[in-house]
Structure 1
Amino acid sequence: MATVAVLILHVFTHFLVLSSAENCPAFSCNKVIDKLSFPFKNKTQNFPECGYYTVDCSDRPAPPKIQLKEGGYWFQFKSIAQSGTVLINDSKLQERIKNLETNDCHDDIFSDLSPPSSSPIVNISAHNLTLFRCNNTLDNTPSDDPYYACRNENYTYYTVSYDGLDCSAIHIPILPPSPSSVYNLSALTAKFPLQVQFTKECTQCYTIGGKCFDYYGKFKCDRGECWDDEKGVYKCEKAGDQICRLKLGLGVAAGVVALVVVYYCCYVWEKKRQDRQNVEAFLRNYVPLQVKGYSYLNVKKMTNSFKEKLGQGGYGGVYKGKLNDGCLVAVKVLNRSKGNGEEFMNEVAAISRTSHVNIVSLLGFCFEGSKRALIYEFMPNGSLEKFIFDANNPQKVHHLGWEALERISLGIARGLEYLHRGCNTRILHFDIKPHNILLDENFLPKISDFGLAKICDRKESIVSMLYARGTAGYIAPEVFCRSFGGVSHKSDVYSYGMMLSEMAGGRRNINVEAENTSEIYFPHWIYKRLELDEELGLHGIKSEEDKARARKLIIVSLWCIQTDPSNRPAMKEVIEMLEGSVESLKIPPKPYLSSPAKSPAVADSSCTLVSIQ
């Protein structure tokens, strides 16, 4: 039984055996680029089912070339790993990239560098920089802006999306990041790994003897002439067709029963082993090459046997460490109780898809038996939480000041807007709170802790969830109670609004120790003051500018925590409100002010919110 389980896992993870043997035989270019098949096709193979990416081996002894997009640039093809990682090393394109440092940015170079998009059959991943190509509509380009990249006659390129400009996102490969780097054009490279992996649906299609097709943007599994799509059964149209006779003889029911028995036995007798192999396969196939793997002994060494603890999260402790080159890191050691590796893979899968100045960078990992750890860039100023809460002195004045709070809130909003719209896939964080916002040496905010994140298609407006996820006090009503609407990116907006309210108030939203009942729930208390046009009564306001910033943060937070998700702004609109004047902001309708469940539970459409009057 163990042998069968290993064989099944091997078939699931080894995608290069997928091919159409009749029309698309495997081919070789040299000893390194050998036995290629679907999704790679030879230049002479004109059948659409042969593959997505054309390889030209004809120009020997010159290196092989690969075309990642139909009619696109021909890259120099260096090698391919068994895991499906293609290594591009194009010296000619690298020379063209160097010219970008001295000349105006060249649209054609960016277009040539841009990797292909994922499809219903193949997932594509690489370490990318997202640039926003904007039409030149401003008189003066802010070249001193930290998000400015370069410009030419037609376009200006930024690392964030500027409101008011007509922009489109492009993704281009860059060198691996250093712990505190801000990406710019000097990091562009024509030597990069590109991971090509089959989707789960395509792999499952192969295991039942089918072939994968991209049918007008949708996945289709073709199981051959013996399969009747309408009836969902095998048929035998030709009396002499031995394949059909074999399939008919075995019977679909027998095959299903056999699979159920095999998977049940594997689940019962080999679950721990499968969990470990799943994570190992995931690390081989999805983790970028520049994210280094470390042994547990190395993790103990870099943390000095976990001497300095930085904090404690829901999934484990975080410790300060140092790499061999002297670079400081934060090491997140995961709890043993999470033995199946779900949160480990979830966090790595989400964060490895990101490249943004307001998202923390993953530098390495450890997966050794039951020992699991994630290694991140070190944030000297720790979490935002310690700057806005003080259990010993609830009336403490802000450490940061209102200008810094406004700047931090804008940075977090830009990071969330990137997760929702800037990535190839949409990432919903589901745990936005002060504890998960880290500050670097310049108090630049970075979103961290993607253990509860959910990756979904950018076209998906509503996502499905089996259970609520998040932290009590920040969970949107619809996440734990479906009668309030569908779960979407607006659920992150609600969490952001609750956090913004705490940043402005300098206290937790619910204070059970408050002497005055009306002050227990801060958003309710502050909304009454806005309604009556009273002084906000917040600490640390020293000027009219501070007063305007405080009012702006409060109004934006109240818009974000509207009970109906459709009444909440998207993060792009939140950025516009934060960058605009407070005079242009309208006071939102009064939201239902709620006390959610103490911990995430299964969503129940019968649940209700309690209004605190």
Structure 2
Amino acid sequence: MAVAVASPPSNASESTKHGCQSRCGNLEIPYPFGIGSNCSLNPYFNISCNTSFNPPKPFLLNANGYDNYKLLYYEAVNISETQIYYEVVNISETQIYVKNSKVQQSMACYGKRFDNKTQNSTIYMNFLDSPYTLSDANQVTSIGCDDLAMVQQDSIKASIGGAIKASSGGGCASYCSPFQNPFGFGSCPGKGCCRTSISKGDILIVELSDMHSYWRRDSKLFRCSFAFIGMIGDYDKFNFNLSHLNHPTTFLKNYHKEFMGMPLVLGWRIMDYNCTKVQNSTDYACRKNSYCIDMDTKLGGYHCRCKKGYEGNPYLGCNDINECEISNHCVSIGICTNTPGSYNCLCPNGYHGDGNKYGIGCIPVQLSHNKLAIGVGLGAGMGFLLLSSTCFWLYKFHKKRKDKKRKEKFFKRNGGLLLQQQILIDQGILEKTRLFTVKELEKATDNFNQSRILGQGGQGTVYKGMLSEGKIVAIKKSKLIDENQVKQFINEVVMLSQIIHRNVVKLLGCCLETEVPLLVYEFIFNGTLFDHIQDKTDEFPLSWNMRLRIAVEVAEALAYLHSATSFPIYHRDVKSTNILLDERYVVKVSDFGISRSIAVDHTHLTTLVKGTFGYLDPEYFQSSRFTEKSDVYSFGVVLVELLTGQKPISSDAETEEEIGLAMRFLLCMEAENLEKILDPQVLEQGKREELTTVTKLAQKCLNLNGKKRPTMKEVAMELEIVRMSQKHSTTSETKYQDVQLRKSKAILISDDNYTWTSTSGNIMQSSSDAHPLKIHTV
């Protein structure tokens, strides 16, 4: 055992401020948190220990008489703003786990009140005036039938020039079959229950809404619904009796542990600014032998941590670790000397060396054999260098071989052998489906640097990259695919790579050497149609002529996929964010992440319901049978977005029926009151005849009966007729329902004429240069 040299004694490290209570019940309270007067860093970190419980329980609140601020507060229907106390379950280095069922839970009962319970359909949390933030380790759980839980979040970061605000939203819908047994059971997650994750933020709003009218049901299956926010975990899976949804008291009593047993995870930090701004200020919280760590670039604030070789509470000061007494690398006869933050190893008299067991160690000195010792030492050193060099090259060889085997394993698992078979059958595939190496794509994206991320969605993450030849591409890193669906995945890669259409984003190739497949697409520079519709300050506003041209190009692209390919292709996620515009504002339909090809003798596809709320075909949602008419419904919503300039889902709707844009549009059509919903620019620039034709076409696309909707080929032809009529019209002013309209000059990107050939042999004038597609399958 190494001999330790005595060093000056140091105070034992403490996690609690001197003279303050260190524990409450079973929980240790580390500084900057504290119990009692002057025991915490500031009033925000006060902990109250309630001894009326056995064992005592700690609560987070504004203690010591600081009534001039509210740490956390909650607003809901019929509940006034009030001070909220949270039971503290655990405190870690960066997070605090708390519970308060009244704050974390909301309930909505429709039609009448039950059990004298106050109906509270909103969860509202605000942490702006505190050092706490909601963690992304939480999730929102919604239980009920035909209910929508809408989630809105805001993050506000303090900066030198003021506050920076970022907003996000989401939600989920809980659904039950219309033929549901009223005495059956629901499952969470599953039938009658949905969950959605949240991101880090300062403000959270969760609002429950009744959706039975959206699905055209006469009444709700069960009157009450509930929502709850808590930590994500495997323990929160449970089943429940659906009939209890009619009795909130019974439901909360029977499922209290499962439904409200999840703690809420809050992140905590010091102040609102990062380390660079506060290190030289008097309020800097990091004490002796500690350093500062920025908490989050979006939310601000920082934490403190002890330097290497030190231990203790960084907010009180860290003490040196005496490695000589605990753990060190000195040889057994060596002498260990402790130094601030480290230690040194020495050899005793009669020995030489570095005293380190991983170095030379301590070698006896023999005066009569000095030359021999020197020779042995040199030989040992050269041998060590030779051995080290050999080991290094063996390691490099082994690592290279291991990486090669790993790539081959992923290549086979992701269907590489199947793709090679396809190439052998049809050499033309090789020209259209390029197999990239992972090394090429890592170089193109700077090792998939986060700064290269263009967007993230349910199907994967998209990066911007530049290939060695200088071409800009979009690289999609997909989620893990089911090994049982590899053949289908490869067939669809081959199929999509051969699509040649002016208005469809080109798939250039793929990489199968990684754990998840990488797909390489052409890069589109000008953003999404959704951005251009919603950005009212756009330097290039969407005129009526441009909106009509965009609608024509989208319809022709979908018609091409449905009827001009060897096998019909259903997109399954048509929405304005998946419609890109290039530098000339030409449409590029993108994101075929959940699209499927269908054999020519089939008319539909039965799958798990996937898609985007607001664009989802109600008939598909209820039957799980996706047909080409489901794409038509989604296109109808996009067409209504172009006509109205509004978002597909609105949280400001006056009634529940008006949450979806499609339903609001259909109601205005029935009431013959289109001035209420159409975009003012569309009303000003569009002719009455054009607007009547296009709005009626959108109404047909949104028909709840899929069989009564037109095909995409019919939609494209009708829109093209409207557009062609513009070129032959000489009338500059029209009237639409007593509103004077002035015809502006059409903004046309291209007036190229060409023909589009369908599988039926019909020829139609169009504005996109599609080509026939030949696909060989095995």
TM-score range, shorter chain: 0.3 to 0.5
Point out the structure with the larger strand share: 2
Q: TM-score, normalised by structure 1?
A: 0.45
Name the larger-Rg structure: 2
